[in-house]
């Protein structure tokens, strides 16, 4: 009498052992592929961010530097309607960047006594458009003229009699920073220089000469 072979358990007791599920395998492979793509993408963003940060540290642009070299005012004794004021100035423009150049549009100037504009260089600019390479200094010379309003004229004449008068030279331009052939967006530049003049000739005082101006981007 032959031995009986043990009977196999019913298939419904072990479904995963006997049936192949292609949908589950495809879903698992898809999840793995998505995880891999996300990991590669995040790694790329991290490396790109680090490189951009290092590049910014190496090439971050510094603002140009303006210093008043000379400044004179004529007509201080009669700055109102009976005469008028005329100004001459010389300013140094320094690009302190080591690898970044600066391109300037025309530079326009105005002279203020407190809040009153008493001199203007328009329509002629103080400087035509120019290109400034890295670590370069350029001299900008200009003229301005105008008539002070009656209240300001009286105060200017009074300060002139006491020995010195304070003015504010303001210059405006539009600049662009450049690295090789790449240009940044245009920045509207505003320069403000406080200067004192004194004496019969209206020349800049010692304390105002070579004084650094304030720089703003509008």
Q: What pLDDT, on a 0 to 100 scale, did the predictor assign at position 40?
A: 85
- The CA–CA distances, whole Å, from 79 to 146, 155, 192 equal 8, 10, 22
Which residue in 105, 103, 102 sits closest to 135, CA to CA?
Answer: 102
Residue that wins the pLDDT comparison between 200 and 92: 92
- DSSP letter assigned to residue 13: G
Contact 174, 199 (CB under 8 A): no
pTM score: 0.73
- The CA–CA distances, whole Å, from 37 to 29, 46, 50 equal 12, 14, 20
Collapse the DSSP code of 208 into the 3-class scheme (helix H, G, I; strand E, B; otherwise coil) and give the result.
coil
Q: To 10 degrees, the CA torsion angle through 119, 188, 92, 62?
A: 150
Contact 75, 196 (CB under 8 A): no
Q: Model confidence over 34-93: pLDDT tens digits?
A: 888 888 888 888 888 776 655 665 567 899 999 999 999 998 888 877 678 999 999 999
Q: Model confidence over 132-191: pLDDT tens digits?
A: 999 999 999 999 999 999 999 999 989 998 989 999 999 999 999 988 777 778 999 999
């Amino acid at each position: 009498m032959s031995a009986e072979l043990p009977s196999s358990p019913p298939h419904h007791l072990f479904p995963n052992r006997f049936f192949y599920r292609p949908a589950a395998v495809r879903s698992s492979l898809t999840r793995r592929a998505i995880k891999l793509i996300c990991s590669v993408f995040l790694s790329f963003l991290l490396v790109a961010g680090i490189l951009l940060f290092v590049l910014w540290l190496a090439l971050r642009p510094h603002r140009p530097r303006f210093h008043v070299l000379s400044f004179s005012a004529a007509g201080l004794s009669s700055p109102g309607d009976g005469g008028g004021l005329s100004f001459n100035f010389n300013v140094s423009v320094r690009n302190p960047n080591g690898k970044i150049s600066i391109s300037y549009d025309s530079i326009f100037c105005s002279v203020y006594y407190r809040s009153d504009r008493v001199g203007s260089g328009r329509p002629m600019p103080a400087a035509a458009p120019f290109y400034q390479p890295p670590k370069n200094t350029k001299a900008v010379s200009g003229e301005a003229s105008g008539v002070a309003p009656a209240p300001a004229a009286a105060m200017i004449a009074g300060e002139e009699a006491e020995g010195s008068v304070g003015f504010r030279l303001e210059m405006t331009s539009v600049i662009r920073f450049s690295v090789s052939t790449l240009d940044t967006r245009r920045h509207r530049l505003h320069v403000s220089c406080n200067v004192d003049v004194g004496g019969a000739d209206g020349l800049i005082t010692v304390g105002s000469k070579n004084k650094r101006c304030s720089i703003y981007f509008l």
